[in-house]
Structure 1
Amino acid sequence: MSGTTMIVLIVFITVGFSIISKMFNRYLSHQKSQHSKHNEALNAELRALKERVATLEKIVTDDGYVLKEQFKNL
């Protein structure tokens, strides 16, 4: 193998690894952004569910609700 061929081969390998590295980094950043969006959606849903549970707790612990249930049971 001549010196020129080795230099060309080294350049191609270097450029190839550089391209693969950039593609992989883009893939990872895309996955990270998708993961972040999914986490944000789950957090929003969790907040909404916590608010609903808090509202239900207020209704159930309200004196008027307990009184209505006692009248139903009579």
Structure 2
Amino acid sequence: MSGTTMIFLIVLVSVGFGAFREIYMTKLELKKQSSKGGKDVDELKSEISTLRERVEVLEKLVTDDGYQVAKDINRL
């Protein structure tokens, strides 16, 4: 085996290993982010349900006849 071939093989193995390592590290990081993202989704779902309940209460208040009468009285 000539010296040039040996150098070429060493460079090829080094580059291949570096690429494999980078792909593996990226996959690990994505897995960490996806597990953390599940917690965020649960928090957002609970916040959305709370906000929906609050909107329902506000809709009831605004559409209530007593609110409309008080608004008319204040306008006079």
Rounded to whole Å, the distance in 1 between the matches of 2:42 and 2:18 is 36
Q: 2:36 aligns with which of 12, 35, 38?
A: 38
User: Cα deviations across residues 10-60 of structure 1 (Å, max 9, x unaligned)?
Assistant: 111111011101100011111211222222221111001111222344455
- Given residue 13 of structure 1, which amino acid in structure 2 is its aligned partner? V
Q: 1:11 aligns with which of 9, 15, 18?
A: 9
Q: How does 1:59-70 map to 2 (within 5 A)?
A: 59=57
Equivalence for 1:21: 19
The answer for unaligned runs of 5 or more in structure 1 is: 67-74
**Could you tell me the TM-score, scaled by structure 2's length?**
0.63
Identity of paired residues, percent?
6
Rounded to whole Å, the distance in 2 between the matches of 1:6 and 1:61 is 79
**Could you tell me the TM-score, scaled by structure 1's length?**
0.65
